[in-house]
Amino acid sequence: MNELQALPAPVRGPQRWWGMGFFVLVLIGLGLGAYHLNAWLEDEQQMPVREIKITGSYQYVDPVQIEKAIRENQPGSFFELDVAKALKDIEALPWVYRASIRKEWPNNLHVHLVEQQALARWNEDMLLNVQGETFEAQSPEDLSLPRLYGPQGSEKAALQGYHAMEALLQHAGLNIEELFLSERFAWNLKLSNGLAMSLGRSEFIDRLQRFVDIYPLLQKAPKQAEYVDLRYDTGLAVGWRATVMPEA
């Protein structure tokens, strides 16, 4: 039987150190590469946002303000642009109801807008949209809107009442010019022909229907009605406009 001979252990010291050194160099290279890549991506001169395309059906939104909100509040780099923050800045602008933003390679933005649909003025200083939500915006001169007034938090109730009463009055050829909803939720109207109306708190639709039924008789009266009080169970009170006597 041959005796086993012990072989000398291989010398691993220099190879191990060379391997560790190479590994460290690779890590340093990757770190430097990541640093330079990040710096390049952040450099707006290397990858700026070139074009901001705005789509959607809008009439009163100012596209210049949209682009200004993005470029002034965001870094110029396409990759560093925070879409969530840009969206928040855009939706804070007047007449913008909803928006969406999408990055388009290589360095463009696509902004799609949904414009507010104003239905009425609310308490003189706000506008009311079709959802019953208030928003701040300057009302254009070509936008003719009814005026609605009411306590804070009553916007949706006032809007629902307006729709119901406007639909009823249109059968008589009348429109609501001003609607007042008091703190106690009593309804008062001013119509487009100048007639003022008081409907009270309850059964205001039934009371308005009573007015619509009797309105043809009021039109035949020798005097013009100025005020109608419908806060009665079965009748109404009419205030007549004073007759102005012509000068001699």
Instruction: Tell me if 129 is assigned to some domain.
Output: yes
Q: Is residue 45 part of a domain?
A: no
Q: What is the CATH number of the domain that holds 148?
A: 3.40.50.11690
Name the residue type at position 201. Answer: R
Asked, for residue 81, whether it belongs to a domain, the answer is yes
Query: Is the domain of 142 the same as that of 230?
Result: yes
Determine how β-strand 126-129 pairs with β-strand 134-135. antiparallel
Per-residue model confidence as pLDDT tens digits over 156-179: 999 999 999 999 999 899 999 999
As a whole number, the mean pLDDT across the chain is 84
Residues of the chain with confidence (pLDDT) below 70:
1-47, 243-248
What are all long-range contacts of 68-74, with beta carbons under 8 Å and residues at least 24 apart?
Answer: 69/93, 70/109, 70/111, 74/49
Partner residues linked to 102 by β-bridges: 110
Please state the domain count of the chain.
Answer: 2
Asked if the structure places residue 247 within a domain, the reply is no
CATH number of 85's domain: 3.10.20.310
Asked if residue 149 is part of any domain, the answer here is yes
Residue 113 one-letter amino acid: L
